[in-house]
Amino acid sequence: MTEQLPPGYRRTEIGIIPEDWEVKRLGEVVDVVGGGTPDTKNPKYWGGKINWFTPTEIGESKYVSESERKITDEGLKHSSAKILPIGSILFTSRATIGEVAILRKEATTNQGFQSLIPKNIDNEFLYYLLLIIKREFIAKANGSTFLEITPSAIKDTEISLPPTIEEQRAIARVLSDFDRLIEALDELIEKKKMIKKGAMQELLTGKKRLPGFTGEWVRKRLGGVVDIVGGGTPDTKNPKYWGGKINWFTPTEIGESKYVSESERKITDEGLKHSSAKILPIGSILFTSRATIGEVAILRKEATTNQGFQSLIPKNIDNEFLYYLLLIIKREFIAKANGSTFLEITPSAIKDTEISLPPTIEEQRAIARVLSDMDAEIEALERKKEKYERLKKGAMELLLTGKIRIKEENGKIEVVR
């Protein structure tokens, strides 16, 4: 079906756009400049003051200022590297294609870039536009050793532009506001995580006591307060053992969340019966014991695991307290691991690990509640960040294609259509 044409819009080779927007080749509004690398064996070319970026430094931040390595005037002179002015957009053109960043200081790049120097286009608007048409660049890339997009393919890419630089800037300002909100949330999340880390070190070692609790902490072997249960894998070639209702976790599913409920794969009663897998009760702590050691999660549903676990069933210890305690002593488990093919920690090494415990279960639970509240606050902030990221993505699709028009008057942005 043909997409209906709204009033005030026209159909073009790159889609439906407002009647007063223009379709232009990227090469009409930017100069495209490649990079270069001075001879890496010549010390006179390196360690200077000229920024020299590589693609691995691009993609995390909207703006870049300082490169990891720098070249000298001699290095610049004896290579194809070129000075890019402030405001240029670094654009990765090899292997990972279409990563972008705006320069806040003059710089050069290696050959993994075809950077864009804006002529009659707002560089902030262009930055966001490049993000939403990244797939086009990837589709145009080719190469046998690694994918690469040519300068001519970049220049020939068609884009749609608002009729005035003012509208471009207004669009960029709205999207920049989203970025600032997301960055502020990122900073707040990192701050909260650092506060939680400090609280864990103090509360889980007894350096700081919560109000109302006294008495000496006690040292115990982990094997004295938990039962340790290994896992198993039913015969993967027998279809009767797979696709049932029994959760069966692998180590790759552990580490992202405090709680787990549903595994990616499930086994049948027959699979359980004909393997060394065992049912773990709700509240057990899944503990990865192979390769990646010491990742933990609390079970919210009964489950089994493969052999990459030595899971802990708490006896006379609060499972939430134990979860946090395991996080801060993870290095001890890694230090005890051994193996030639991959590192692994044995059940006996886990059992023999000594831990310090508050004298009462009530204090354990109080400590766990404090840390759980911190987790809940961090999770709420992360959800808020994800919401703004979704809103920004939607706004980019609408604003950068003209589906929503805005204008700026007296410093205020208004939607006009």
**What would the pLDDT profile of 175-187 be if each residue is shown by its tens digit?**
999 999 999 999 9
- What distance, in Å, lies between the first and last C-alpha atoms of the chain? 25
Q: Are residues 93 and 222 in the same domain?
A: no
* Residue where one domain finishes, among candidates 308, 326, 353: 353
Q: Are residues 148 and 224 in the same domain?
A: no
Structure confidence at residue 2 (pLDDT): 57
State how far the Cα of 171 lies from the Cα of 128, in Å rounded to an integer.
9
Q: Are residues 126 and 242 in the same domain?
A: no
Q: Are residues 236 and 137 in the same domain?
A: no
Q: Are residues 243 and 153 in the same domain?
A: no
Tell me the residue type at 291: A
Residue 141, in any domain of the structure: yes
Residue 387, in any domain of the structure: no
Structure confidence at residue 223 (pLDDT): 97
Residue 9 confidence (pLDDT) above 70: yes
Residue 49, in any domain of the structure: yes
**What would the pLDDT profile of 32-78 be if each residue is shown by its tens digit?**
999 999 999 999 999 999 999 999 999 999 999 999 999 999 999 99
Structure confidence at residue 291 (pLDDT): 81
Give the chain's mean pLDDT.
Answer: 95
Residue 204, in any domain of the structure: no
Residue 169, in any domain of the structure: no
For the ranges 97-106, 148-157, 331-340, which has the lowest average pLDDT? 331-340
Structure confidence at residue 417 (pLDDT): 67
Residue 321 confidence (pLDDT) above 90: yes
**What would the pLDDT profile of 229-246 be if each residue is shown by its tens digit?**
999 999 999 999 999 999
State how far the Cα of 235 lies from the Cα of 238, in Å rounded to an integer.
6
What are the distances in angstroms from CA 380 to CA 188, 198, 288, 372, 385? 12, 20, 27, 12, 9
**What would the pLDDT profile of 383-413 be if each residue is shown by its tens digit?**
999 999 999 999 999 999 999 998 877 777 7
Structure confidence at residue 231 (pLDDT): 97
- 306, 249 Cβ separation under 8 angstroms: yes
State how far the Cα of 31 lies from the Cα of 26, in Å rounded to an integer.
9
* Residue where one domain finishes, among candidates 303, 318, 353: 353
Q: Are residues 228 and 340 in the same domain?
A: yes
Q: Are residues 130 and 226 in the same domain?
A: no
For the ranges 121-125, 127-131, 222-226, 413-417, which has the lowest average pLDDT? 413-417
Position of tokens 């990079």? 35
State how far the Cα of 307 lies from the Cα of 231, in Å rounded to an integer.
4
Structure confidence at residue 1 (pLDDT): 45
Residue 392, in any domain of the structure: no
Using only C-alpha atoms, what is the Rg of the chain?
Answer: 29
Q: Are residues 149 and 256 in the same domain?
A: no
Q: Are residues 157 and 222 in the same domain?
A: no
* Residue where one domain finishes, among candidates 302, 326, 353: 353
3-state secondary structure of 315: coil
Q: Are residues 65 and 157 in the same domain?
A: yes
Q: What percent of the chain has pLDDT over 70?
A: 99
**What would the pLDDT profile of 146-178 be if each residue is shown by its tens digit?**
889 999 999 999 999 999 999 999 999 999 999
Average pLDDT over residues 336-350: 91
Residue 10, in any domain of the structure: no
Residue 389, in any domain of the structure: no
Structure confidence at residue 102 (pLDDT): 98
Split into its structural domains, the chain has a count of: 2
Residue 137 confidence (pLDDT) above 80: yes
- 9, 34 Cβ separation under 8 angstroms: no
Structure confidence at residue 3 (pLDDT): 61
Q: Are residues 143 and 247 in the same domain?
A: no
Q: Are residues 43 and 143 in the same domain?
A: yes
Which DSSP symbol is given to 325? H
Burial class (CB in 10 A: 0-12, 13-18, 19+), 406: middle
Domain extent at residue 130: 22-161
CATH (domain of 326) = 3.90.220.20
